[in-house]
Structure 1
Amino acid sequence: MGGQLLLASLAPRRRDLRGIIDWRTDELARLGVPISLNTYIDSQTLLDQSWDVVIVATGGTPAPPRIPGAGLVHDTWDVLAGARRLRGHVMVYDDHGGNQALDTVEALVRGGATVEIVTPERTLSPDVGSLTASGHVNSLAENRVAVTVLRRLQGVTKTPGGLEVELGVDGFEFREHRTFNAVVAEMGTDPVRELYDELLDASTNLGAVDWAELLARKPQTVVRDEDGSFQLFRIGDAVASRNVHAAMLDAARLCRTI
């Protein structure tokens, strides 16, 4: 159980995230909610059964940078999970602003890499709270991690000397080229929405949400297809890239009225 939270909790600095998983798992057990793991569910499986409400919480997958040479760029998930053990001079590009890039930098440093973190923002990881950020900044300093701000990743090219990255400044023609042994990018997530899309036509609300009812904590009454057989909703990263607090708020607002 846990999804992206389980992955994030692998970072030593964020291991306490495991408590969110453990508490919610214990609550499901207390409430008698069955959990089916290692079970692949496709749209036809759901359509063959009777449901009043279907909530799609399929999460997201790492969003790749939309640049030439994106296939040469690794994602932070593989680094944090240990699937990619990168060595040499590594650039971590953060166009998300959360903890993920900083956690990835620390994982790379522990593995012996020399790291530089690059961001198009004016500050480093603006969405990370001050208390957590101070620990990260100290780690960056102790491990001599270079920090480059106000640089947008424009492209990556494979050369005999390594990976050549092109960096620019937003709104201007300035370009510079740097060479690294590997490039890792954190761009947030893209929704995994195939199941949701396949279920839309069979739903009564066609996936629609009445925002006034949601904010007022009232049951959803939208009906756009009277021939539909169930209400359909999606939450969390299955909608768009967001943090865990927003995902849990999605679920709380929607599901307390069902």
Structure 2
Amino acid sequence: MGRGIGQVMFQDNALSGLLMLIGIGIGNWTLALWALGGNLISTLTAYWSGCNPTDIRHGLYGFNGTLVGIAAGIWLSLSPLSFLLMALAAALSTGIVVAFKRQQSLPAYTAPFVLATWILIGFCTLVLPHCLQSAPSTLPAAEKLNAGQAVLTGIGQVMFQGNAWSGLCFLAGILLQSRIGAGYALLGALLPLPLALGLGVDASTINLGLMGYNGVLCAIALGGRDLRSFALACVAVLLSVALQLLGMKCGIPTLTAPFVLSVWIMRCFRGSV
């Protein structure tokens, strides 16, 4: 299960996953339980479905369910029905992973989480509105930009934690497995800041990490030791900021869709040149 959490940030390491789980718990201990629940359900679904045991062991069927669990803990009220809905969505995310593996052309990344969570939220909105939590309060009035906080919360928001200490735990988990990965995580969280400011995003939104978390994933996914990988990662990070802003203006819960779309676009570009 530890790898299923670590793989959210591309880390095939159970100890990395444990540090990330601790980071979630620092932000909100109930969300850590939701994360474990989603991880367990999605992993068991893969096992019962006869998926590749090696892939299961490396957490490749657990990380989307982990994110589904956390998202359910944020959007749904606490009840047995909500847990059942989360379990169904986590199982669905595994089914979507299987579908992506069959088509071979594009890696799934966190697309199964995004699709399963959109279906979950949409279903509850239309059919079971009483299962949804009240809308979160508005953001605090804009303060001055705190770049250090924005970078760490940008890392934390990969798993919905707008908390610098959570982000630090996540960064430590990445560093435990890969110094290059940790460096790219920092780059992915830092690079969106000047672009977001230039586009008029208020400081409170930036300080909460909402402009950086997709960039973190983009940078880790595409970053490498060569200059071309570095350039592709940087372009994907900046593109993810634009897609995030577009989704927010349209009132869409973007989740990690900007990351997925940006990396898919860069992979297609890399394959054509």
TM-score above 0.5, yes or no? no
Larger-Rg structure? 1
* TM-score after normalising by structure 2: 0.23
* TM-score after normalising by structure 1: 0.23
